[in-house]
Amino acid sequence: MAETTGEAHGAADAAHGDGGGLVFHPMDQFIVEPLFGDGAVNMLTVTNVTLWMAIAVLCIMALMVLGTSGRGIVPGRVQSVAELAYGFVYKMVEDVSGKDGVKYFPYIMTLFMFIVFSNFLGLIPMAFTTTSHFAVTVVLALAVFIGVTALGFVKHGVKFLELFWVTSAPLALRPVLAVIELISYFVRPVSHSIRLAGNLMAGHAVIKVFAGFAALAAVSPISVLAITAMYGLEVLVAFIQAYVFTILTCVYLKDALHPHH
Amino acid sequence: MATEPYQQELAGACVGPNGSAIGMPQLCGDWVWNQVFWLVLALVAIYFVLNRVALPRIAAILAERQGTITGDLAKAEDLKRSAEEAEAAYDKALADARTEARKIADETRAEIRAEVEEAEAKADADIAAKTAESEKQIAEIRASALANVEQVAKETAEALVAALGIDASKAELDAAVDKRIEG
């Protein structure tokens, strides 16, 4: 049944005693569980979250550190990928945030590498997608939000509030716009985090639902085709959502560095 | 909700007794701090590795490559310029050699012409001198021939007179002959 999807959660599925027919457990793949033994999940418990975040960290190290250890003037295969990632994010920060945003490039690079590797590792069958959890993406988005807001006040003091005072609008409209701007500013971390987790969760759950249909012989070919198509879409989504998260971070950083409209 | 206490013990409030998720696992409060903790750890690890090792290294590689490319381009530009200079020098040398050759040819031609003219003049002078000498000799020969004719005539006249038996002095005879020749 669900084991055929590859997205299935092995331990959880083993417990499924339900008889034949259609069984959908699309959300089981998101369960956080201890890696060793059973029991409650405490703050320091080593869980599947730990495992997949560790794999992501190791993959990033392998790409960015081991891959560039040759320091070749003419890059090898892995080194060119590392340079490509570097150039991609560096150019994004420079283009969107401006020259003075380059100072914060390592932070944005950290976010991008973590998200892109978590997203792609989550596409491996049986994997756990760390970035499909709001707990993770909210922390990422709040880190950006708090960091950027603090940076704005440190750099510009009270003048940072000019961000909400649209001087190009007629004077009568400005207070109204200020309220709207203020609300939209505080909605930023919400949309920033939910966009990433929501996209990944939805894609993975949909694949799982299609996989559930594979139990019916009549529709299983369609189901397999649908899974294949969804997987292709999810590969795109994995990269695009990492890109979107990063470029929004750059936009917020630009607002903090240059709050004047 | 899982109601049995041991199930609660086993999986928490978010996983049912059959091991399946209750609702959205994303909204399960039990797991939040675990995820936050490991996330922060992972981000700090990535940040340190990137900031301390990977990013400076890649920046150095890219800068070195840019430097190498710029250096190579500058070197190529230099080589091109020196090639152009060499070509210009070659062209100039060729033009110089051509003018030099023309000059030498002109000079040689003029020299030869001068020599030829000199030789012609000399030859003309020689010819003129020889002609004059020859004319002189001819005149001399003619003069001596006339004298000989006079002598022969006188001697013949003397002999004839003697043969005829007429006694006459030599002086009378000569005067008579001279008178006849002149006549």
| Residues A29/A208, Cβ–Cβ less than 8 Å | yes
Question: Cα separation of B2 and A167, whole Å?
Answer: 57
Mean pLDDT is lowest, of A220-229, B9-18, B121-130, for B9-18
Q: Report chain B's mean pLDDT, rounded to a whole number.
A: 87
| Residues B35/A130, Cβ–Cβ less than 8 Å | yes
Please identify every stretch of chain A with a pLDDT value under 50, giving residue numbers as ranges: 1-19
Q: Specify whether the backbone of A83 is left (phi greater than 0), alpha (psi in -120 to 50) or beta.
A: alpha
pLDDT category at B179 given cuts 50, 70, 90 is confident
Q: What is the pLDDT of residues A211-240, one digit of tens each?
A: 888 888 888 899 999 999 999 999 999 999
Domain count, chain A: 1
Mutate to test the interface with A, among B43, B44, B66 (most CBs of A within 10 A): B43
H or E segment to which residue B183 belongs? none
Residue B163 pLDDT exceeds 90 = no
Residue A214 lies in domain: 2-257
Closest by Cα among A67, A112, A57, A103 to B57: A67
Judging contacts by C-beta atoms under 8 Å, the chain A residues touching residue B36 are 43, 135-136, 139
Q: B43–A110: do the CB atoms touch at under 8 Å? A: yes
Q: Which residues of B8-32 are buried (b: 16+ CB within 10 A; e: fewer)?
A: eebbbebbbbebbbbeebbebebbb
pLDDT recorded at residue A261: 62
H or E segment to which residue A52 belongs? helix A48-61
Question: Cα separation of A203 and A232, whole Å?
Answer: 11
H or E segment to which residue A103 belongs? none
A214 phi/psi in degrees, rounded to 5: -65, -15
State how far residue A72 is from chain B, nearest Cα, in angstroms. 7
Mutate to test the interface with A, among B27, B39, B52 (most CBs of A within 10 A): B39
Q: What is the pLDDT of residues B43-78, one digit of tens each?
A: 999 999 999 999 999 999 999 999 999 999 999 999
Closest by Cα among A203, A189, A194 to A239: A203
Judging contacts by C-beta atoms under 8 Å, the chain B residues touching residue A64 are 49-50, 53-55, 58
| Residues A208/A26, Cβ–Cβ less than 8 Å | yes
Closest by Cα among B51, B69, B73 to A74: B69
Residue B6 pLDDT exceeds 60 = no
> Is the minimum CB–CB distance between A116 and chain B shorter than 8 Å?
no
Q: A54–B42: do the CB atoms touch at under 8 Å? A: yes
Judging contacts by C-beta atoms under 8 Å, the chain B residues touching residue A24 are none
Q: What is the pLDDT of residues B14-34, one digit of tens each?
A: 888 777 888 788 888 888 999
| Residues A168/A108, Cβ–Cβ less than 8 Å | no
* ipTM > 0.90 (yes/no): no
Judging contacts by C-beta atoms under 8 Å, the chain A residues touching residue B34 are 32, 41-45, 47, 49
pLDDT recorded at residue A225: 93
Hey, what are A90's tokens?
């560096």
Judging contacts by C-beta atoms under 8 Å, the chain A residues touching residue B11 are 33, 38
Question: Cα separation of A255 and B81, whole Å?
Answer: 49
pLDDT recorded at residue B183: 66
> Is the minimum CB–CB distance between B139 and chain A shorter than 8 Å?
no
In the predicted model, what is the mean pLDDT of residues B80-108?
96
Tell me how many degrees the CA angle B44-B49-B51 measures, rounded to the nearest 5. 90
Question: CA dihedral in degrees (A97, A101, A102, A104; nearest 10)?
Answer: -120
pLDDT recorded at residue A17: 42
Strand partners, B15: B21
State how far residue A246 is from chain B, nearest Cα, in angstroms. 15
> Is the minimum CB–CB distance between B19 and chain A shorter than 8 Å?
yes
Contact map slice: B 45-84 vs A, CB within 8 A:
45-47, 49-51, 53-55, 57-62, 64-65, 68
Contact map slice: A 155-194 vs B, CB within 8 A:
none
